[in-house]
Chains A and B, each alone.
Chain A
Amino acid sequence: MSIIVFTNFLKSVAHRFAILLYLVFALFPLYWLLKIAVTPDKLLYSEGVKLWPSEFTWVNFELVFTQSEFPTFFMNSAIVSSATALLTTLIAAAAGYAFCRFKFRGKLIITGLLLVTQMFPLVMVLAPIYKIMAPLGLTNSLLGLVIIYTAFNVPFAVFLMQSFFDGIPRDLEESAMVEGCSRFQALYKVIIPLTLPGMAATLGFVFTAAWSEMLFALMLISDSSVSTFPVGLLNFVSKFAVQWGQMMAAGVLALIPACIFFVFIQRYLVQGLTAGAVKG
């Protein structure tokens, strides 16, 4: 018996240790980012390989808040990312459900089409998109970005949602329908609650993808009042000098909302399904 206890103990030690390794790998570069942000400019190179600078400063964070347009950029990014995440998840949930529960003509072609959208390099569609968006007045607007991000995120989100729907036994909703629910009611009352973790995951992906997107944001927007934060970062890189401290400070600040968002969707991610619900 004690051997079992001991091996269990060993197992959980190994488990924690493995988690620790992942944490170190994930966080070390971000730690370095923070270190650069709090290092005074004159020590940036002379103490470049030290793990912590001999002096430290908050001045870069202050500058980002007071001297730059970053508060606006963060606001814009938050608006664009949340709108994109919501819109994409809704559209994708509907389409994913159709893929999972129906047999219909053109399914294979549509699947292929969704895949093809991911295969052509974005730099080659940039100019045509610009030409389409410019006359519609969507080049210097957050709405334009939301539309584009939604379009490019929908294909993956559809596949993701489809596989979550696939994981839910068909007889669940069938039995609901036998009991007198319409298909839509069955979807709403039985299926949706079960796919909440999947929706949360989708929401999380799309949000972060939109949060960190740079190419379209850079090419379509030239007015700084509607710029998003990744493009704002680029302004710290000028031809003759890079304002590392401020750039990294802005980068660290940008991680905070993403972190909060992850904590927020945790609940749904972790919630999972209870065994009873699936038995049907």
Chain B
Amino acid sequence: MNTLVTQPKSQKKIDLQRFLEPYLYLSPALIIIALVIITPTLVGISYAFQSIELLNPFNGGWIGLTHFKTLFSDRYFFSALANTLDWTLISLFFQFSLGLGLALLLNRKFAGRKLVQALVFLPWAVPTFLSGLTWAWLFNPIIGILPHWMTSLGMLPEPYNILSDPHLAMYGPIVANVWFGIPFFAITLLAALQSVPSDLYEAAGIDGASSWQVFVKITLPFLAPMIAITVMLRTIWIANFADLIIVMTSGGPANSTQTLPSYIFTTAYRRLDFGYASAMAVMLLILLLLYTAILLKMRSKLSNGD
């Protein structure tokens, strides 16, 4: 063995190590995701092209795009799609703006801050089933106080249950969802806020910048990556989130709160038509992919523009 030979070899080894290192860090995540999520998802997607009805187990088999053709003439599908849009955008808007507000409020020293932090984050820890039931109680005029308060405030003509009114019912699960989701944005944004170097603020303070200027010029840019990722993920989650709706209104009255995921749930586990349910799930997947692609494109354009 002479050094001339080993030298490039070990150099190669180092190169290989360099090349492999990121994959090494990634491998546990990738393996578990591939086994537990990707494989079942592929199986789930394959249902969309098959006839899988538990009610008619003998009609199985591949049927191509039949489900997708049915889908385009299904009026419930389109109303569910519109409802999903309302549900997602309204929930997201309030969760985000109220969550950011809370993070800013908490990013300041005051007596009892620890206690307040622990308490305002509690809604996130309540199982959605329980929070759905609790909010349904609160909206029920027999056993809940909200309709009475809303009537006193002039928001309702008489104390009735907004969950029974097709024009208002969607706001019930939305309020519950906002309540549940504020802590998410508050925690992530607060953690990000606390990694803003304080000398930046000090410098701004010396320059005599107004607090709005500080917010726009320093805080926001620092938060931007976190905002981008949390808003994107949260949109996907909310769009896919059916628990509160199923518990509080089960899509009613008259389908007025039926979103795509709740319709998918009903189709799969009430009609036992897994094929059609999967076709709708695939449509939802495609729409969400489009949304993320657009968002990522915008993000990279923005960061290129900087």
Contacts and interface: CB of A to CB of B under 8 A. Distances in A.
B122 interface: yes
Interface in B111-164: 113-114, 116-131, 133-135, 137-138, 140-145, 148
Q: Which of B30, B36, B141, B269 has the most CB of A within 10 A?
A: B36
A226 to B, nearest CB: 18
Interface in A170-229: 183, 197-198, 200-201, 204-205, 208, 211-215, 229
Given A23-B116, A270-B113, A164 B195 contact: yes
Interface string A258-280: 11011100100111111100110
Contacts of B288: 119
B195 A102 contact: no
A181 to B, nearest CB: 15
A10 interface: no
Nearest to A212: B127
Given A49-B143, A167-B195, A25 B179 contact: yes
Interface stretch (B40-48, B62-70, B73-81, B166-174): B40-48
Contact of A151 (B32, B199, B269): B32
Interface stretch (B8-16, B85-93, B276-284): B276-284
Contacts of A137: none
Interface residues of A, number: 103
A49 B143 CA distance: 5
B269 to A, nearest CB: 7
B28 interface: yes
Contacts of B125: 208, 211-212, 255, 258-259, 261-262
Contacts of B32: 91, 147, 150-151, 154
A120 B44 contact: yes
Contacts of A168: 195
Contact of A30 (B122, B141, B229): B122
A125 B40 contact: yes
Tell me whether chain A's interface is mostly helix, strand or loop, or mixed: helix
Nearest to B202: A275
A63 interface: no
B197 A278 contact: yes
Interface stretch (B17-25, B212-220, B250-258): B17-25
A162 B153 CA distance: 46
A154 B29 contact: yes
A148 B38 CA distance: 12
Contact of A198 (B25, B119, B191, B243): B191
A254 B242 CA distance: 23
A124 B45 CA distance: 8
A131 B44 CA distance: 12
A81 to B, nearest CB: 10
Given A110-B26, A118-B237, A23 B119 contact: yes
Interface in A34-85: 36, 44-45, 48-49, 51
A273 B264 CA distance: 45
B3 interface: no
Nearest to A103: B22
A201 B53 CA distance: 43
Contacts of B278: 124
A119 B29 contact: no
What 4 A-B pairs are tightest by C-beta distance, nearest first? A272-B194, A258-B125, A48-B143, A151-B36
Interface of B: 19, 21-23, 25-26, 28-30, 32-33, 35-41, 43-45, 47, 98, 101-102, 105-106, 108, 110, 113-114, 116-131, 133-135, 137-138, 140-145, 148, 179, 182-184, 187-188, 190-192, 194-195, 197-199, 202, 222, 225-226, 229, 232-233, 236-237, 240, 242-243, 261, 264-265, 268-269, 274, 277-278, 281, 284-285, 288-289, 292
Given A26-B120, A48-B142, A95-B26, 11 more contacts: A19-B106, A22-B102, A91-B28, A94-B29, A123-B268, A127-B44, A167-B192, A197-B191, A205-B187, A215-B243, A255-B126
24 contacts: A12-B110, A15-B110, A16-B110, A18-B105, A22-B120, A26-B121, A32-B144, A33-B130, A95-B29, A102-B22, A110-B30, A115-B232, A123-B264, A147-B36, A205-B124, A205-B187, A212-B126, A214-B129, A247-B133, A248-B134, A251-B134, A262-B125, A270-B114, A275-B199
